[in-house]
């Protein structure tokens, strides 16, 4: 483990290291997308090498699949795997009921499909991602490119009836072009500030023509693993919070080139 890691990267690593301990030989495992999930993929690959685990993995994005394959993990499609034992993924926010905002990495559609095709979803994050109420992080909504501005206008109109504090909607860009997802859709980021009723908002958004999926994960997360820079790890599951610790200094050199 490089000694110059930022505190947030140390926290992400701690959560990832603890979460991959839940993986057992022979499992079918969903691999999330994002900077925290990248730490998890590295930790999982290390376990596979050291312990000889036989795993079948399904990635939630092209970039996760590329990283996993480069580290020797076996990647198949979800259609080939059919169903998963466990999915480990990050989150942009998580509240006390384990409701999530996801999609900062623009992979929310595949992430939600993979998570709901799993017996268990474990979410890993640095402790700062735990919030009292969702909404400070912009809510991603994946929409088809055709008529995206009309879709955005419909969303804005319907937000008037929702328990939110903001109504600003922005098309996510990649340079001077709209960002495209793996499914060639675009992302609208909803700057809502606070979401009073995530379930009602999720249902409303998915009823609007042009919306493919939204980044609210309701009743999907089973376990939340929160890492701290000093190696402390909190696990929240079934209303119970437990604490443990990960030895950050004893990590392997495979993390030296992970600059996320």
pLDDT at 183: 97
Nearest to 170 by CA among 146, 189, 151, 149: 189
Per the annotation, does 89 bind a ligand? yes
- Judge contact between 34 and 123, C-beta under 8 A: no
Tell the residue number behind the tokens 């990267």, with chain if given: 9
Q: What is the pLDDT of residue 252?
A: 45
Residue 70 is labelled as binding a ligand: no
Write the pLDDT tens digit of every residue in 90-125. 999 999 999 999 999 999 999 999 999 999 999 999
pLDDT value for 4: 76
Instruction: Tell me which residues of the chain have a pLDDT lower than 70.
Output: 1-3, 250-260
The model carries a pTM of 0.94
Query: Given this chain, do its domains 7-130+219-255 and 139-213 carry the same CATH topology?
Result: no
- Residue 107 has phi, psi (to 5 degrees) of -120, 25
Among candidate residues 173, 98, 100, the one with its CA nearest the CA of residue 139: 100
* CATH entry 3.40.800.10 includes domain 7-130+219-255: no
251 known member of a binding site: no
DSSP three-state, residue 133: coil
CATH topology of domain 139-213: Alpha-Beta Plaits (3.30.70)
Q: d(Cα 163, Cα 100) in Å, to the nearest integer?
A: 17
The residues, any chain, with a CB within 8 Å of residue 21's CB and separated by 6 or more, are none
Instruction: Label the pairing between strands 86-90 and 28-31.
Output: parallel
pLDDT digits (tens, 9 = 90+) for 13-30: 999 999 999 999 999 999
The domain segmentation of the chain, as residue ranges, is 7-130+219-255, 139-213
111, 142, 213, 234: the catalytic one is 111
Sign of CA dihedral 19, 21, 22, 28: positive
DSSP 210: T
User: Is 190:148 a contact under the CB 8 Å cutoff?
Assistant: no
- Catalytic (active site) residue 111: yes
- What values do phi and psi take at 184, rounded to 5? 70, 25
Q: What is the pLDDT of residue 249?
A: 80
Q: Point out which residues pair with 90 in neighbouring strands.
A: 124
62 is in an annotated binding site: no
3-class DSSP assignment, residue 242: strand
Is the separation of the CB atoms in 151 and 122 below 8 Å?
Answer: no
Whole-angstrom Cα Rg for the chain: 18
Q: Is 176 exposed, middle or buried (0-12, 13-18, 19+ CB in 10 A)?
A: exposed
H runs (alpha helix) in 117-251: 148-159, 198-205
């Amino acid at each position: 483990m490089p000694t110059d890691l930022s505190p947030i990267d140390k926290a992400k690593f701690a959560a990832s290291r603890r979460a991959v301990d839940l993986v057992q030989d022979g499992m079918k495992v969903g691999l999330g997308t994002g900077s925290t999930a990248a730490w998890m993929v590295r930790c999982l690959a290390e376990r596979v090498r050291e312990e000889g685990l036989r795993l079948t993995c399904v990635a939630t994005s092209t970039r996760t699949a590329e990283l996993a394959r480069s580290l020797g993990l076996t990647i198949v499609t979800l259609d080939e795997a059919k169903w998963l034992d466990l999915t480990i993924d990050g989150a942009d926010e998580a509240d006390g009921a384990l409701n999530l905002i996801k999609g900062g990495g623009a992979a929310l559609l595949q992430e939600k499909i993979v998570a709901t095709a799993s017996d268990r979803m474990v979410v890993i994050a640095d402790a700062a991602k735990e919030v009292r109420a969702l909404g400070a992080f912009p809510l991603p909504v994946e929409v088809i490119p055709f008529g995206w501005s009309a879709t955005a206008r419909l969303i804005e109109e319907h937000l008037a009836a929702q328990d939110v504090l903001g109504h600003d909607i922005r098309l996510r860009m990649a340079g001077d072009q709209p960002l495209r997802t793996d499914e060639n859709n675009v992302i609208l980021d909803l700057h809502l500030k606070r979401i009073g009723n995530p379930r009602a908002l999720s249902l409303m958004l998915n009823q609007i023509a042009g919306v493919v999926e939204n980044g609210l994960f309701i009743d999907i997360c089973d376990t939340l693993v929160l890492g701290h820079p000093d190696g402390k790890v909190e696990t929240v599951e079934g209303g119970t919070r437990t604490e443990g610790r990960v030895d950050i200094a004893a990590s392997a050199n495979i993390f030296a080139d992970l600059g996320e």
